[in-house]
Amino acid sequence: MESVLKEIIDTIQDGKTELDDAWLSRLLRRHNRKRPAGEPQLAKRHLRPFYLKLKAEKPEMLATWGVDEICERNLLRLLQIKPRRTASGLATVTLVTKPHPCSSNCLYCPSDLRMPKSYLPNEPACRRAEQNFFDPYLQTYSRLRALEAMGHITDKVELIILGGSWNDYPLDYQLWFVTEVFRALNEFGHEDGHGLGREFGHGHGREHGRELSQPTNDSVNERRKAYEDAGLTSDAKQAAEQCRPLQIRVNEGELNYNNALALLQAQASHEHLSLVQRASREELADQQRRNEHAACRSVGLCIETRPDLITSESARMMRELGCTKIQMGIQSLDQRVLDCNKRQVSVEQIAESFAVLRRYGFKIMVHMMLNLLGSTLELDRTGYRTLVSDPRFCPDEVKLYPCVLVESSQLMREFERGTWQPYTEPDLVCLLADCVNMTPAYTRISRMIRDIASTDIVAGNKKPNLRQTVESARKTEPNERQEIRQREIATDDIGLDELHVEIVEYTTSISNEKFCQWVNTEGKIAGFLRLSLPFEGSTAMIRELHVYGRVAGLDGSELGGTQHLGLGRSLIELACEHAQAAGFTSLRVISAVGTREYYRELGFCDEELYQVRRLT
């Protein structure tokens, strides 16, 4: 391993060779061929930990190799695993809430008792959640550690909380969950986590007054032990075993998810959990304040819920939690299809939820499901066109995917009766390609499949690379009018002199919207800002500011990306100019907890739920 590392370092210092993944693979293959039979093969993932170990234990050796700051930065960048994970500019940490009843019972929705409604244990985030007792602190901690081990910078973290319908969980649980996530961010890389085992997170490491490098494994183990003592398991096989008898009854249509879960959770340990999984608003606010200056800051928090659960009151509460984006299932805009799938929501309620969320400044991400029971290719096409063009809707992000059949859903009965069939692949690809073509420049299609393992799919698309098939069917080059994801600069570097600002304007039921984007001549996008100019009131709103490029540390420590080049700041000044020209006297921003300091530096003052800059 040492000789491989030395060769990489020498090549970096030499500066004559283009170093990328392909070069590294060739080098590893060459070295592996020379290894004696029976010795384990070297892989990229071994190199970074080995380098860090060497740095800690034999710094003098690295000094004799001449490793300086620039050389190390290039080395770590080369050794980074899965660079796309942070290519959107952020390290994403996805968390899953515990199994809990959902107030709807949609026909196509998986009902796996080990998971919150609509999720399956084989999905990566769900697997991690189960391994961590669905504890928010443990999930956050282990994900951050995994990302760091892969060489990613974790200063700026986008949090995504998944699991059924967030607003169906008791408020106490909501407050606790988010407080614990912030606690984990605050303590990761900063504080001693001793005391974390105390009743699932009440009390924190600060009480011990020491500033150590990370919560120790001991303290995490303590917390895990508290769950084990309460009779819970983090073992997938054991969990499956515990659920099996009730799961069979659910799969056979004899019990629904909520009833079966009630039977499963009718144990003292679950009652105990609901008593200790609670936090006060003050505890939350305290953790949020600490996060403003923490090493791992929340730069976005997304929560998943249903349109009919969105009210002014719930929107306000989600904002209080530090939420910046709401993800909600729309699935269809055809009332007959919604009813047929037992969605218990009306198109009017969906439209109203958009208006409320936009008024509160949230980024709006929706799920749209094709091929639902009772739908057709044409209804799906029309429904999607309505979604992206009707002023009552116009989401910022869409997860657009076909319905797939899983064993635990009620759709099984329809499939067996022959009343539901998946579309053929050519029909599906053609439909998705049409949908992509209809999508405006200010909308991002984040996904085209649900993250369900093919082994769990009874019928429907099993291709994980469906998106690539759709893109090849479209055969178009990026341009500034296309949906966002196709145009993101991802891991590429881009010259500032290649960029110019373009503004796409559109109208919604409550506002004029300006999507201001930095693009190059091919339409590749380096950053954007969403400015909302409401028809009522004198305050405009920045709903989103995003600059792409390899994630930059808060101290600007990663070079090569577009962050920290002033693209964001110039978009904010542009937003101020446009808002003022339109007659607004102030500009609010729906800042994430960890970006408050950034906006203060740009002249924004703290308000109760937002930050605001006067424009006069």
> Which residues of this chain interact with ligand SF4, rule CB under 6 A?
102, 104-106, 109, 117-118, 164-165, 306, 329
Count of Cβ atoms closer than 10 Å to residue 363 Cβ: 22
CB nearer to ligand SF4: pick between 165 and 214:
165
Q: Minimal distance in Å, beta carbon 329 to ligand SF4?
A: 5
Residue in 90, 175, 102 with CA at minimum distance from that of residue 527: 90
CB nearer to ligand SF4: pick between 104 and 219:
104
Rounded to whole angstroms, how far apart are CA atoms 142 and 140? 6
Q: Minimal distance in Å, beta carbon 248 to ligand SF4?
A: 20
Q: Minimal distance in Å, beta carbon 330 to ligand SF4?
A: 11
CB nearer to ligand SF4: pick between 306 and 564:
306
Rounded to whole angstroms, how far apart are CA atoms 273 and 135? 11
Residues 547, 595, 188, 137, CA torsion sign? negative
Rounded to whole angstroms, how far apart are CA atoms 430 and 434? 6
CB nearer to ligand SF4: pick between 256 and 512:
256
Q: Minimal distance in Å, beta carbon 309 to ligand SF4?
A: 9
3-state secondary structure 49-95: HHHHHHHHHCHHHHHHCCCCHHHHHHHHHHCCCCHHHHCCCCEEEEE
CB nearer to ligand SF4: pick between 153 and 338:
338
Q: Minimal distance in Å, beta carbon 238 to ligand SF4?
A: 25
Q: What is the dihedral of CA 211, 212, 217, 222, to 10 degrees?
A: -20
Buried b / exposed e along 517-538 (16+ C-beta atoms within 10 A) = bbbbeebbbbbbbbbbbbeeee
Sheet holding 91-96, edge to edge: 91-96, 156-162, 297-305, 325-331, 363-370, 397-402, 444-447
CB nearer to ligand SF4: pick between 102 and 404:
102
Q: Minimal distance in Å, beta carbon 464 to ligand SF4?
A: 22
CB nearer to ligand SF4: pick between 104 and 511:
104
Q: Minimal distance in Å, beta carbon 394 to ligand SF4?
A: 22
Instruction: List Cα–Cα distances, 77 to 57, 369, 478, 491, 554, in angstroms.
Output: 21, 38, 27, 11, 17
CB nearer to ligand SF4: pick between 101 and 568:
101
**Beta pairing partners, 546:** 528
Rg (CA), the chain: 25
Q: What is the DSSP string of 2-60?
A: HHHHHHHHHHHHH--S---HHHHHHHHHHHHHHSPTTSPPP-HHHHHHHHHHHHHH-HH
Asked if 524 and 494 touch (Cβ cutoff 8 Å), the reply is yes
Q: Minimal distance in Å, beta carbon 143 to ligand SF4?
A: 23
Q: Minimal distance in Å, beta carbon 528 to ligand SF4?
A: 29
Rounded to whole angstroms, how far apart are CA atoms 476 and 478? 6
CB nearer to ligand SF4: pick between 194 and 306:
306
Residue in 246, 267, 271, 268 with CA at minimum distance from that of residue 257: 246
CB nearer to ligand SF4: pick between 177 and 598:
177
Q: Minimal distance in Å, beta carbon 333 to ligand SF4?
A: 16
Q: Minimal distance in Å, beta carbon 344 to ligand SF4?
A: 8
Could you give the angle at the alpha carbon of 572 between the alpha carbons of 566 and 573, nearest 5°?
Answer: 90
CB nearer to ligand SF4: pick between 387 and 533:
387
CB nearer to ligand SF4: pick between 13 and 105:
105
Rounded to whole angstroms, how far apart are CA atoms 355 and 250? 37
Q: What is the dihedral of CA 501, 507, 509, 512, to 10 degrees?
A: 50
Rounded to whole angstroms, how far apart are CA atoms 492 and 499? 14
Q: Minimal distance in Å, beta carbon 569 to ligand SF4?
A: 39
Give residue 351's region: left, alpha or beta (phi > 0; psi -120 to 50).
alpha
Q: Minimal distance in Å, beta carbon 420 to ligand SF4?
A: 16
CB nearer to ligand SF4: pick between 344 and 570:
344
